[in-house]
Amino acid sequence: MTRRLHLNAFLMNTGHHEASWRLPESDPYAHVDLAHYVGLARIAERGTFDSLFLADGPQLWNDIAQRPSGALEPLTLLTALATATEHIGLIATASTSYNSPYNLARRFASLDIVSGGRAGWNIVTTAGAEAARNFGLDAEPAHAERYARAAEFLDVALKLWDSWEDDAIVGDKAAGVWGDDAKIHPPRHKGRYFSVAGALNVPRTPQGYPLLVQAGSSEDGKAFAARYAEAVFTAQQTLADAQAFYADLKSRTAAAGRDPEHIKVLPGIVPVIGSTEAEARANEQVLEDHIVPAHGLARLERLLQLKPGTLELDRQLPADLPSEDAVEGAKSRYTLIVQLARRERLTVRRLIGRLGGGRGHLTFAGTPEQVADAIGTWFTQGAADGFNIMPAVLPSGLETFVEQVVPILRARGLLRTEYGPRRTLRDRYGLPRPANQYALRENALV
Amino acid sequence: MTRRLHLNAFLMNTGHHEASWRLPESDPYAHVDLAHYVGLARIAERGTFDSLFLADGPQLWNDIAQRPSGALEPLTLLTALATATEHIGLIATASTSYNSPYNLARRFASLDIVSGGRAGWNIVTTAGAEAARNFGLDAEPAHAERYARAAEFLDVALKLWDSWEDDAIVGDKAAGVWGDDAKIHPPRHKGRYFSVAGALNVPRTPQGYPLLVQAGSSEDGKAFAARYAEAVFTAQQTLADAQAFYADLKSRTAAAGRDPEHIKVLPGIVPVIGSTEAEARANEQVLEDHIVPAHGLARLERLLQLKPGTLELDRQLPADLPSEDAVEGAKSRYTLIVQLARRERLTVRRLIGRLGGGRGHLTFAGTPEQVADAIGTWFTQGAADGFNIMPAVLPSGLETFVEQVVPILRARGLLRTEYGPRRTLRDRYGLPRPANQYALRENALV
């Protein structure tokens, strides 16, 4: 079978560029407008994307003055989108640090059922004290602690999703027997972080469980991805870095005893498209001109975990920044930004401009052909199984991509031309439906 | 303005009668079939019901062999129904014992936005060790403890829902100012059960916050309802009991400093309708004949918190049952069932038959006129502001009610004939949109 690109639409209110909301076309209330998101989902479906995706964190950032803040809770929004779409996968971010496995496993199972097998979970451990303080803690748990909890959370969730065998429902009306107790497997889990005794109160779902997605690229993050993830979102600035990451993750996955084909690597790309190179660069400049420099400065300081007032707009980053080991959360993003600034000797002002669109993801300004070339190169040269498309402005950036880049990718045989008969999100990504761990165990005994 | 009935459709897979799933018309997979629920919601909307409602508990009961078990998570299902309906209110049960305020407040806010102001929350404290053991506890917290946590949960949730003033979003593109920091009010709550520092990451919603519903009729439950609830579901077997409950709750609400008009009392009723009285009774008998006696016995023992094997089918309840004070959870339901059995000197077998449809709610078998008469009597005689309609069989029982009873209620001027222009769930129940506690405080200072 021809290897094909997997495309994920990373949706974010008026777009990924921090100043996108200030453009004339943008609606400052888009973040809470269901119709806005329905429109985006339908555009992505016209582009035969595999999935769409919502980032999330359970806190309100303190920059409400500067740009749209807050968002509809992702599983709620995706449930509404499930009813407005037919094919596209629906990936929600949810935190293992600030949820309980029983509730979250049930919600993803419910979305998987309601959407006919299109649910995905972007598993995050949630960095930052702001979130911790909304859940009874004074400070965020340490990075390693968060990942240890995440691993136990996943083990419990997988037990819950398997707690009904696929044929647990009998429905024998004459005998008055609805279900088969022998096919129900309460986890009876007692661990370091969680005790969960009973079976889930939702049957096994079309996909068995949601597609498991992960986006942390720290050491802990990569180890976690190798063990659990079926798709990985990553920020990579150069082909060489992306190739190294790709090879590393595939080999870690094989080392964990899994088929490396069963983990799909999707770097993020912010395509800024123009009919000529000059037009694309001009479009990029319009966005950069809308950034309020003081806001960008404050955000960069937060991202690098520096005290306010550390950075100066027209100088480069200070030479004595801490190493990745010393920062908590978003470790790999930290390193990526510092390396980008050093490699290109960027002033803080230029760095803010470069980060304004993608927060560390690759911004690529060019013609539709150039964007398709870049995607094709990364895809065929061992750097990507697909891409996380992060339009700078929404909906127009997604529309332009689907109307101008997608046809080129299709003509080159890199992208499906229609969805075809298979329905689940795992089908789209070419992944098998997972077997039930308890049914497997029984069969092994036979 | 004419006082009108409020009708709520209490939806439960194939119906409220425990044997309903065994009827030829019933689908054993209805509990996970979105189309089934969409159909029910649309029938209720044809009947101009105020709302529909889903009960819930975060556990799988151990009677999966006996009847449909498990359910789609209610907020997920209601979000999907929001997109399939236009007018009807959407009330989800969620537990204050097994959720965190930040997450749950956000989810209800999101549903309220997605549905255009139609969200309601049936606040429960969740009795039973089964649920507790899914959330790291060995046993359920004591009744009073659960209610103390519920009260603090509500206080935090109300702060979160008010943490954005209605005009916190400025959207000034030219100045680059999106929101007004002065209109954001982080709760900074530190209490016995919860610490929640930050503002919600969702703006204030169409209703301000979801309609608050409550269904516990214990002393703790009534005190809680008087303080917070805007609608109350209750199980009442006789007009006199219902009148006493109604008067008591209204006077408690007034004593709590609230307008007694702002709490709507809705007793549950299981209407079993026939074109003649005899046909209605025959329909009831068909259902009763489908009960497996041993299953009913086990369930009754669990409901009364008795050891398995305590009850005998053809004898009355033992004389030495414990008093309500000695039972944990579902206290008032316990008393109601014991009183019903004693009052009518029912054998355990007959009691199981009587409870099979409504689990303690009033089952009323009769012609459409008789059902309308009973509803009208309770409504006009100080026993109810409306009813929680609990069809024994779904969808047919709801369809019959809407086709045969609703027209009579409309002809008598008791029920609206169309929804009219006002849109939110609070509008339907004749309740005002709540003011923002922080905005009020500021205005008081001026």
Measured between beta carbons, the chain A residues lying within 8 angstroms of B114 are 34, 72, 76-77, 80
3-state SS assignment for residue B385: coil
**Using the beta-carbon criterion (under 8 Å), do B177 and A84 form an inter-chain contact?**
no
Predicted confidence at residue A205, as pLDDT, reads: 98
Residue B74 one-letter amino acid: P
Measured between beta carbons, the chain A residues lying within 8 angstroms of B136 are 100, 194-196
Mean pLDDT of chain B: 94
Q: What's the sign of the alpha-carbon dihedral B360, B361, B363, B364?
A: positive
- Kindly indicate the confidence band of residue A358, based on its pLDDT and cuts at 50, 70 and 90: low
Residue B340 one-letter amino acid: L
Cβ neighbours of B299 (radius 10 Å)? 20
Task: List the 137-156 stretch of A: residues with Cβ below 8 A of B.
Answer: 137
Q: Quickly list DSSP for B163-206.
A: SB-TT-EEEETTTTEEE-GGGB----EE-SS-EE-SPPSSPPBT
**DSSP code for B65:** T
d(CA B47, CA B414): 13
Q: Tell me phi and psi for residue B443, to 5 degrees.
A: -65, -35
3-state SS assignment for residue B361: coil
| Domain-located, residue B285 | no
Tens-digit pLDDT profile for residues A121-149: 999 999 899 999 999 999 999 999 999 99
Higher-scoring residue by pLDDT: B308, A162 = A162
| Domain-located, residue A309 | no
Contact in structure between B378 and B259 (CB atoms under 8 Å) = no
Domain of A132, CATH number, reads 3.20.20.30
Task: List the 1-20 stretch of A: residues with Cβ below 8 A of B.
Answer: 19
pLDDT of B282 higher than 60 = yes
**Crossing angle for the helix pair A331-343 and A348-358, to the nearest 10 degrees:** 130
pLDDT of A162 higher than 60 = yes
d(CA A75, CA B58): 18
**Using the beta-carbon criterion (under 8 Å), do A106 and B73 form an inter-chain contact?**
yes
- Kindly indicate the confidence band of residue B445, based on its pLDDT and cuts at 50, 70 and 90: low
**DSSP code for B402:** I
**Using the beta-carbon criterion (under 8 Å), do B65 and A102 form an inter-chain contact?**
no
Higher-scoring residue by pLDDT: A117, B361 = A117
* CB-facing half-sphere around the CA of A322: CA atoms within 13 A: 13
pLDDT of B37 higher than 70 = yes
Predicted confidence at residue B443, as pLDDT, reads: 64
**A196 at the B interface (CB within 8 A)?**
yes
3-state SS assignment for residue B441: helix
d(CA A171, CA A203): 13
Share of chain B above pLDDT 70, in %: 98
Task: List the 37-66 stretch of A: residues with Cβ below 8 A of B.
Answer: 57-60, 62, 64-66
Length of chain B: 446
Cβ neighbours of A443 (radius 10 Å)? 10
**DSSP code for B320:** T
pLDDT of A298 higher than 80 = yes
3-state SS assignment for residue B335: helix
Q: Select from A106, A185, A99 the least CA-distant residue to B57.
A: A106
Q: Tell me phi and psi for residue B318, to 5 degrees.
A: -60, 150
Tens-digit pLDDT profile for residues B196-208: 999 999 999 999 9
Measured between beta carbons, the chain B residues lying within 8 angstroms of A85 are none
Residues 6+ apart with CB under 8 A from B423: B87, B116, B117, B118, B206
Cβ neighbours of A2 (radius 10 Å)? 6
By CA distance, what is B201's nearest residue in A?
A: A70
By CA distance, what is A84's nearest residue in B?
A: B83
Query: What value of ipTM does the predicted structure carry?
Result: 0.94
pLDDT of B329 higher than 70 = no
Contact in structure between A436 and A204 (CB atoms under 8 Å) = yes
pLDDT of A337 higher than 80 = yes
Contact in structure between A193 and A152 (CB atoms under 8 Å) = yes
Q: Select from A54, A58, A65, A60 the least CA-distant residue to A16.
A: A54
| Domain-located, residue B288 | no
In this prediction, residues B42-61 reach a mean pLDDT of: 97
**B194 at the A interface (CB within 8 A)?**
yes
**A251 at the B interface (CB within 8 A)?**
no
| Domain-located, residue B388 | yes
d(CA B273, CA B392): 10
Predicted confidence at residue B302, as pLDDT, reads: 84
Predicted confidence at residue B124, as pLDDT, reads: 97
Contact in structure between A211 and A228 (CB atoms under 8 Å) = no
| Domain-located, residue A351 | no
Q: Please give the tally of structural domains in chain A.
A: 1
By CA distance, what is B20's nearest residue in A?
A: A173
Measured between beta carbons, the chain B residues lying within 8 angstroms of A164 are 70
d(CA A219, CA A225): 10
Distances (CA, A) of A215 to A27, A121, A149, B264: 29, 11, 16, 48
- Burial grade of B176 (CB within 10 A; 0-12, 13-18, 19 or more): middle
3-state SS assignment for residue B268: strand
d(CA A236, CA A383): 9
Predicted confidence at residue B446, as pLDDT, reads: 47
Q: Give the domain extent around B144.
A: 6-273+361-445
SS3 annotation, chain A: CCCCCEEEEEECCCCCCCCHHHCCCCCCCHHHCHHHHHHHHHHHHHCCCCEEEECCCCCCCCCCCCCCCCCCCHHHHHHHHHHHCCCCEEEEEEECCCCCHHHHHHHHHHHHHHCCCCEEEEEECCCCHHHHCCCCCCCCCCHHHHHHHHHHHHHHHHHHHCCECCCCEEEECCCCEEECHHHECCCCEECCCCEECCCCCCCCECCECCEEEECCCCHHHHHHHHHHCCEEEECCCCHHHHHHHHHHHHHHHHHCCCCHHHCEEEEEEEEEECCCHHHHHHHHHHHHHCCCHHHHHHHHHHHCCCCCCCCCCCCCCCCCCCCHHHCCCCHHHHHHHHHHHHHCCCCHHHHHHHHHHHCCCEEEEECHHHHHHHHHHHHHCCCCCEEEECCCCCCHHHHHHHHHHHHHHHHCCCCCCCCCCCCCHHHHCCCCCCCCHHHHHHHHHC
Best residue in A14, A201, A297 for a mutation probing chain B (most B CBs within 10 Å) = A201
Q: Tell me phi and psi for residue A353, to 5 degrees.
A: -60, -45
- Backbone region of residue A434 per phi and psi (left: phi > 0; alpha: psi in -120 to 50; beta: other values): beta
Rg from Cα positions in chain B: 22
pLDDT of B82 higher than 70 = yes
Contact in structure between B328 and B127 (CB atoms under 8 Å) = yes
| Domain-located, residue A313 | no
| Domain-located, residue B317 | no
Q: In which residue are the tokens 């555009």 written?
A: A43
Distances (CA, A) of B8 to B13, B25, B120, B247: 16, 24, 12, 21
- Kindly indicate the confidence band of residue B358, based on its pLDDT and cuts at 50, 70 and 90: low
Q: Tell me phi and psi for residue B127, to 5 degrees.
A: -80, 160
**Crossing angle for the helix pair A293-303 and A331-343, to the nearest 10 degrees:** 120
| Domain-located, residue B319 | no
Predicted confidence at residue B265, as pLDDT, reads: 98
Predicted confidence at residue B1, as pLDDT, reads: 57
Predicted confidence at residue A11, as pLDDT, reads: 98
**Using the beta-carbon criterion (under 8 Å), do B103 and A102 form an inter-chain contact?**
no
- Kindly indicate the confidence band of residue B355, based on its pLDDT and cuts at 50, 70 and 90: confident
pLDDT of B97 higher than 90 = yes
Share of chain A above pLDDT 70, in %: 98
Nearest to A113 among B32, B103, B164 (CB): B32
**DSSP code for B63:** -
- Kindly indicate the confidence band of residue A272, based on its pLDDT and cuts at 50, 70 and 90: very high
In this prediction, residues B395-401 reach a mean pLDDT of: 98
**B286 at the A interface (CB within 8 A)?**
no
Contact in structure between A442 and A20 (CB atoms under 8 Å) = no
- Kindly indicate the confidence band of residue A445, based on its pLDDT and cuts at 50, 70 and 90: low
**Using the beta-carbon criterion (under 8 Å), do A107 and B76 form an inter-chain contact?**
yes
d(CA A179, CA B342): 34
Best residue in B36, B201, B207, B295 for a mutation probing chain A (most A CBs within 10 Å) = B201
How far apart are the CA of A446 and the nearest CA of chain B, in angstroms?
A: 24
d(CA A262, CA A59): 33
Q: In which residue are the tokens 């009961």 written?
A: B61
Mean pLDDT of chain A: 94
In this prediction, residues A222-238 reach a mean pLDDT of: 96
At CA A91, angle to CA A411 and CA A357, rounded to 5? 70
Task: List the 352-391 stretch of A: residues with Cβ below 8 A of B.
Answer: none
**A293 at the B interface (CB within 8 A)?**
no
**B171 at the A interface (CB within 8 A)?**
yes
For B368, the enclosing helix (H) or strand (E) is helix B368-380
**DSSP code for B429:** T
Tens-digit pLDDT profile for residues B103-138: 999 999 999 999 999 999 999 999 899 999 999 999
In this prediction, residues A350-378 reach a mean pLDDT of: 89
**Using the beta-carbon criterion (under 8 Å), do B28 and A203 form an inter-chain contact?**
no
Contact in structure between B329 and B143 (CB atoms under 8 Å) = yes
At CA A156, angle to CA A151 and CA A157, rounded to 5? 95
Q: Tell me phi and psi for residue B207, to 5 degrees.
A: -90, 0
A177-179/A169-172 β-pairing: antiparallel
